[in-house]
Amino acid sequence: MLTTVDNNVDEIGFEISNQTLIKSQSLSFLIGEKKILSGISLNISKEEIVTVIGPNGAGKTTLLRLLLGLIPVSSGKIFRKQKLRIGYLPQRAVYNPVLPLSVRRLMNLTGNFSKIQIEASLDETGVKALKDKPVSQLSGGEYQRVMLARALLRNPELLVLDEPVQGVDYMGESELYNLIGNLRKKLGCGVLMVSHNLHVVMASTDRVLCLNQHICCEGKPKDVTQHPEYLRMFGLKTTNSMAIYNHHHDHEHDFSGKF
Amino acid sequence: MTLLDDFFWRAIIAGLGVAVLAGPLGCFVVWRRMSYLGDTMAHSALLGIALGFFLNIDLMIGVFAVALVVALILFFFQRQKMLTNDAVLGTLSHASLAMGVLIISLMAWIRIDLMGYLFGDILAVSLIDLYWIYGGGILILVILLMLWRPLLAITFDSELAQAEGISVLVVQLLFMLLIAAVIALSMKIIGILLVTSLLIIPVSAARSFSNTPEQMALGGALIGISSVILGLFTSLYFDTPSGPSIVIAAVLFFFAVQILPFKQFKY
C-alpha cells in the first residue's frame, strides 16, 4: 500500500532531501504472477523535468498510476512530500460527445474555482479564448492545453503528464513541450511525464528514464541516447553509435525484451 | 365510468414519478455508455418477479434484489479484467432471463400474466406501488443530488477523478444501487422488456437542445413526463399495453427533436 512519510527521513532511515517531491524504492507491480514492473527506484526533485520513455507495454502508465496511488503497489515503497499537490493529466480518454460540457465547466468538475482563477489558468496555457467552447469541439492540441490548464488550477508542486502531446501535430508538440518547460520555471513545479516521441522531448527534459518493465537506463538526454539499452530499444537513429556513455548498466535484453 | 377511473390516475401518477427519476439517472446511463447494463438488469427483473412469487414477497423487492446482485457480479468481473463488459453482461442477461422463465414454468400452481409484466399494464399499479415510487423516488433523487458532481467527474475520466480525491468505487456502487431501484420502481408501468427505454430515449432526445448536463437531465425528465402522459392516454383509449405506448410516444419526441432546428445550441 501507499506509504507517505515525513519530509526528511522515514522509519527505516531512508534519506530524502528536502528537494524531493516523490521517491520510490524497489517498486514492483504484478498482475497475478505476471511482472508488470519491478525494482523501480526513482526520485523527482523540485523544478525537475523527468521523462519516462519506453516501448508499448513497458509499464509507463502503470508507473504513473502507482506513483499517484491509483493502484496499490505489490512491493516496495513510495515516499511523497507531505501534502504534495499533484496536477494530473491522464492519457487522453475517449470523450463521449453525448455529455454536454463546456470548457469552463470541465475546469470546475472536481473543485470550486473562481472565474478569475479559471481564466488565469487557461490564459497560462494559451487557451483563454476557448473558455465557453464545448469540450466535444476542441482539437487535439486545444484539448491537451485545456487539460493542462485544469491540472494547473490546483497550483501543483508536481505535474504528472501521461503522453501530453497525444493527438497533437508535430508543430504543436514542440510548442506544448516548450510550454511545459516554461511552466516549470514559472510555477517552480516538478514535472513527471511519459512520452514516446524521443526527439522532441529530449530538448526540454532534465532527466530521462528508459523503462521496459524495469529502469533500463537513466540520465541526461544526451547520455541516454547513446546508451546501448536505449539504442537497442529505439534503433540506431544516430551515426555515432560508438559514442562513449558514462553511466552504469548491469544486464542485457534479448529480442523479446526479457532479461 | 369516466376518464377518472382510479386505476388510470394511479398509472399516470406512477408514470410521472418514474419519468422524473429517469431524467437525471438516464443521463448517466447514456453518458457512461451503460445502456446494455440497463438492459441486463431489466432482463434480470423477470428472475426477480419469479423469485418474488416463489418467496411470496413484494415483487418490487424481488426485482430490486436481483438487479443489485447482477450489478455486484458485474462489478466483480470488471475488477478481474478477464472478460469484457459486454461478454459478462450478455451472460448475466440471458442467465437471469432463462432462470426467471424456468422458475415461473416450474410454479405450475401460479398463473402469471407474463405479457403484463413484460410490457407493462396500467391496471397493475396499486396504491402501495405509488407509496413505493414516491417514497423511494425522493430518496433516489436526494442520493443522486449528492452524487451529482462526483458522478460527473467519474463520467468524464474516472482515473482523473480518483487522482483528485473522489472515492470512485463507492460512487459507482451507489449509482448501480440507484439504477437497480429505478428499474424496480418502473417495472410495472413500462414492463420488464422496455424498462430501460425510459432511461435512454427521453434524455437522448433532450441532448440536441442541452448546453449543460443539468439541462439535459431536466429536458429528459420533461420529455419523459410528456411521453408518459401521451402513452397512457393512448393505452387507455386504444387498449394497448402501457409500456409500448409510452415508448412509442418517447420515440416520436426523439425524432421530432431531431427535425426541429436547434442550431443556436452549439454544445
Question: Which domains are seen in chain B, by residue range?
Answer: 6-192 (1.10.3470.10)
Convert B13-50 to b/e letters by CB count within 10 Å (16 or more is b). Answer: bbbbbbbbbbbbbbbbbbbbebbebbbbbbbbbbbbbb
Q: Residue A99's closest chain B neighbor by CA? A: B31
The size of the A-B interface in CB pairs under 8 A is 67
Instruction: Please tell me if residue B162 touches chain A, with a CB cutoff of 8 Å.
Output: yes
pLDDT confidence tier of residue A2, bands split at 50, 70 and 90:
very low
Q: Is the ipTM above a cut-off of 0.90?
A: no
Chain B residue numbers touching A109 (CB-CB < 8 A): 149, 152-153, 156, 161
DSSP-derived 3-state class of residue B60: helix
pLDDT top residue among A14 and A37 = A37
Mean pLDDT calculated for residue range A8-26? 69
A96 neighbors B31 (Cβ within 8 angstroms): yes
Q: What is the pLDDT of residues B149-174, one digit of tens each?
A: 999 999 999 889 998 889 998 998 99
* Grid cell for residue A104: 469552463
User: Could you identify the residue written with the cell 477523478?
Assistant: B161
The CA–CA distances, whole Å, from A19 to A15, A24, A85, A190, B177 equal 11, 14, 15, 10, 46
CA distance A134 to chain B (A): 5
Residue B77: per-residue pLDDT: 85
B12 neighbors B228 (Cβ within 8 angstroms): yes
Mean of the per-residue pLDDT values for chain A? Answer: 80
Mean of the per-residue pLDDT values for chain B? Answer: 88
Residue A244 confidence (pLDDT) above 80: no
Residue B143: per-residue pLDDT: 96
pTM: 0.82
Residue B261 confidence (pLDDT) above 80: no
* Inter-chain CB proximity B163 and A88 less than 8 Å: yes
Residue B128 confidence (pLDDT) above 80: yes
Q: Which of B195, B202, B192, B259 is nearest to B230 (CA)?
A: B202
Mean pLDDT calculated for residue range B179-205? 89
Task: Name residues whose C-beta falls within 8 Å of residue B133's C-beta, 6 or more positions apart in sequence.
Answer: B14, B17, B18, B185
Residue A118 confidence (pLDDT) above 60: yes
Residue B229 confidence (pLDDT) above 90: yes
Chain B residue numbers touching A86 (CB-CB < 8 A): 163
* Inter-chain CB proximity A100 and B166 less than 8 Å: no
Instruction: Give the number of other Cβ atoms within 10 Å of residue B102's Cβ.
Output: 12
Q: In whole angstroms, what is the distance from residue B176 CA to residue B95 CA?
A: 19
Q: What is the pLDDT of residues B78-123, one digit of tens each?
A: 777 778 878 888 999 999 999 998 998 888 787 778 888 888 887 7
